[in-house]
Amino acid sequence: METTAGLTFRDATDADVDTLVALVESAYRGDDSRAGWTTEADILEGQRTDPEGVLAVIKSPDSRLLTVERDGRVVACCQLEHRGDYAYFGMFAVSPTLQGGGLGKVVIAQAERLAVETWGVTEMHMTVISVREELIAWYERRGYRRTGRMTPFPYGDERFGIPQREDLRFELLVKPLV
């Protein structure tokens, strides 16, 4: 457990599953997500994750589900997964009512530092739905670059949501960490 900028960073436990599912859902989908500066609510309906998916990340030996608390309340989370010489960054969620205040910048910087310290990786990778231009621009301001490498969205698999448009795909973003 570490404290930075009034935030406590720790690895998630089984007891955090329901709280983290609720956080991720509120940050990405439905009307609650509209309280933040970015949302997937207009392009995807349905779930963003489920208890089984969150628990799988917690239990994976190559992953960490970083949980961020302020005053004893979970306010953000992100997944870090060791993949050889790089780490994958995913499941990033900041409470919608706290978005736009710099919390996300602190969390991603801490995640990058932990990935280097824990695994000695030289890059961070992530995938972002390519039509989410404002979110990609935010990551670019943090040093990530678009690669143009796309992977298809899993249409028909409602575990990832119900698409509201036909042009969804994921773009790989990469940032050197050393």
Q: Delimit the domains of the chain by residue range.
A: 2-176
Chunked into runs of 10 residues, the chain (178 residues) has average pLDDT values of 83 96 79 58 66 93 96 96 97 91 95 97 96 93 97 83 83 96
17-36: pLDDT as tens digits: 999 999 998 877 656 655 55
Please report where in the chains the tokens 């599953």 appear, as a residue. Answer: 17
Would you say the C-alpha torsion 178, 105, 10, 78 has a positive or negative sign? negative
Distance CA 52, CA 78 (A): 16
Rounded Cα distance, 157 and 178, in Å? 37
What CA–CA distance (Å, rounded) separates 55 from 58? Answer: 5
- How far apart are alpha carbons 168 and 132 in whole angstroms? 10
pLDDT of residue 158: 76
Q: Are 88 and 79 in contact (CB under 8 A)?
A: yes
Q: What is the pLDDT of residue 102?
A: 93
Nearest-10 Cα torsion for 157, 161, 165, 169: -70
What's the rounded Cα separation, in Å, for the pair 19 and 73?
A: 10
Please state, rounded to an integer, the average pLDDT across all residues of the chain.
89
C-alpha dihedral, 46 to 48 to 53 to 57, nearest 10°: 180
CATH superfamily of 2-176: Gcn5-related N-acetyltransferase (GNAT) (3.40.630.30)
CA angle 20, 95, 68 (to 5 degrees): 60
Cβ–Cβ < 8 Å for 64, 127 = no
- E-state strands within 42-161: 44-45, 63-70, 73-83, 86-94, 123-129, 145-152
